[in-house]
């Protein structure tokens, strides 16, 4: 069910992160004109958060990470950042971190994100992704932070009525994971209206790829590309393909993939917003399961056998998001939109780290 609240005001930029030139008033600036705003990255030891931390530091921001390390990795932490070990369920812990660091902005990546797990244990997802997040919002209000960038998901849309999915598409989640993210989006609307805490919600499907030093290491791993590469590394015998009779060109599901660095650049792009805004992210072009497998075969030189399985309940044939709004308003465009480049970057990292962060 859609919320009756919508908050899409005219775009009003505080500054533009690419040039770091002010548009109107701007935060404190350090040597060389570089922004010195303090950014708290919640979940900064995870796959996406760790890359965002690295980019923020490279741009001259002062960064602190708040992470429980439950599903993140200490070895993914950037030594240039300050680290607070803590859990968002601990209201005093996140409050203390905010009072000590005094962030102007928070980036929120901390969430459970397994659809199957959410169907088995919805309480876990509503408590972690929604209720614990309220502690973060209250802590930010207390220190008068100006903004939160929320790493949301296109799972808030459920099964789309039309493609590609736009920001105006109805939000009707089909699982507790998507519902928990949508609930937090709704809370953000009220914290803006009542407390003036601005937000940017970024919704996307499949983050993929790697940087030279940071990659994807989940336990359990449910994402297609790393699981395909595990076969090439000899860690799995075959890739399961769930459904080969979908109404798509090759009969397998089509999904939108976005390179991890392009995704994090979008998170930096929205830092200049004066008002709250929602954006969908993606390449605008999906790839089928068989296309991903074939691309991985070409990149790795491995045959990568597959095993056909029955469809999984609730898997839509095609999910592709439109990034037209953020492209038109902020000039964001994927620098690595092609599937081969995404897979190559992931393969390079996994070859160096076949056991993930455990082998570093």
pLDDT (mean) for 161-186:
96
Cβ partners under 8 Å of residue 83, min gap 6: 64, 65, 67, 77
SS3 of residue 65 by DSSP: strand
pLDDT above 50: residue 32: no
Helix and strand totals (H; E) in the chain? 11, 15
Residue 173 pLDDT class (50, 70, 90 cuts): very high
| H or E element in which residue 22 lies | strand 21-22
Q: Lowest-pLDDT range, 4-18, 39-53, 71-85, 98-112?
A: 4-18
> In whole angstroms, what is the distance from residue 209 CA to residue 343 CA?
6
Q: Which of 15, 47, 125, 177 is catalytic?
A: 177
pLDDT, position 359: 58
pLDDT, position 313: 76
**How does DSSP assign 267-296, residue by residue?**
HHHGGGBSS-EEEE-S-S-EEEHHHHHHHH
> In whole angstroms, what is the distance from residue 250 CA to residue 273 CA?
42
Mean pLDDT value across the chain: 90
pLDDT above 80: residue 1: no
The pTM (predicted TM-score) of the whole model is 0.90
pLDDT (mean) for 12-23:
46
State the pairing for strand pair 318-319/254-259. Answer: parallel
pLDDT above 90: residue 181: yes
State the pairing for strand pair 254-259/206-208. Answer: parallel
State the pairing for strand pair 15-16/21-22. Answer: antiparallel
pLDDT above 50: residue 87: yes
Task: Give the pLDDT confidence of 183-232 residue by residue, as tens digits.
Answer: 999 999 999 999 999 999 999 989 999 999 999 999 888 899 999 999 99
**How does DSSP assign 165-179, residue by residue?**
B-TTS----SSHHHH
Is 177 in the active site?
yes
Task: Give the pLDDT confidence of 115-155 residue by residue, as tens digits.
Answer: 889 999 999 999 999 999 999 999 999 999 999 999 999 99
Q: Spell out the domains of the chain, with CATH numbers in brackets.
A: 15-205+259-282 (3.40.50.720)
| H or E element in which residue 95 lies | helix 91-101
């Amino acid at each position: 069910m859609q919320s009756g609240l919508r908050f899409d005001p005219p775009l009003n930029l505080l500054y533009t992160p690419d040039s770091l030139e002010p548009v109107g008033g701007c935060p404190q600036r350090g040597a060389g004109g570089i922004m010195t705003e303090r950014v708290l990255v919640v979940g900064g030891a995870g796959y996406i958060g760790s890359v965002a931390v690295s980019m923020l530091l490279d741009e001259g921001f002062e960064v602190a990470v708040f992470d429980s390390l439950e599903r993140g990795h200490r070895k993914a932490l950037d030594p240039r950042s300050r680290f607070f070990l803590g859990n968002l369920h601990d209201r005093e812990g996140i409050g203390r971190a905010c009072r000590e660091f005094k962030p102007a902005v928070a980036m929120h990546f901390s969430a459970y994100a397994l659809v199957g797990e959410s169907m088995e244990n919805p309480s876990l997802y509503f408590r972690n992704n929604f209720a614990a997040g309220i502690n973060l919002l209250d802590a930010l209000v207390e220190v008068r932070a100006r903004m939160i960038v929320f790493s949301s998901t296109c799972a808030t849309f459920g099964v789309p009525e039309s493609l590609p999915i736009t920001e105006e598409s109805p939000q009707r989640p089909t699982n507790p994971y998507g519902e928990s993210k949508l609930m937090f989006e709704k809370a953000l609307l009220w914290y803006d209206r009542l407390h003036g805490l601005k937000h940017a919600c970024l919704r996307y499907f499949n983050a993929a790829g790697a940087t030279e030093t940071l990659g994807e290491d989940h336990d359990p791993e449910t994402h297609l590309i790393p699981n395909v590469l595990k076969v090439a590394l000899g860690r799995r015998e075959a890739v399961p393909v769930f459904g080969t009779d979908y109404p798509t060109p090759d009969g397998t599901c089509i999904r939108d993939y976005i390179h991890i660095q392009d995704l994090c650049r979008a998170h930096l792009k929205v830092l200049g917003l004066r008002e709250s805004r929602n954006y969908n992210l993606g390449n605008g072009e999906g790839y089928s399961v068989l296309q991903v497998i074939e691309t991985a075969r070409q990149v790795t030189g491995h045959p990568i056998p597959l095993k056909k399985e029955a469809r999984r309940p609730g898997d839509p044939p095609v999910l592709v998001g439109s990034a037209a709004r953020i492209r038109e308003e902020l000039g964001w465009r994927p620098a690595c939109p092609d599937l081969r480049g995404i897979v190559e970057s992931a393969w390079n990292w996994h070859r160096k780290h076949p056991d993930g962060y455990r082998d570093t």
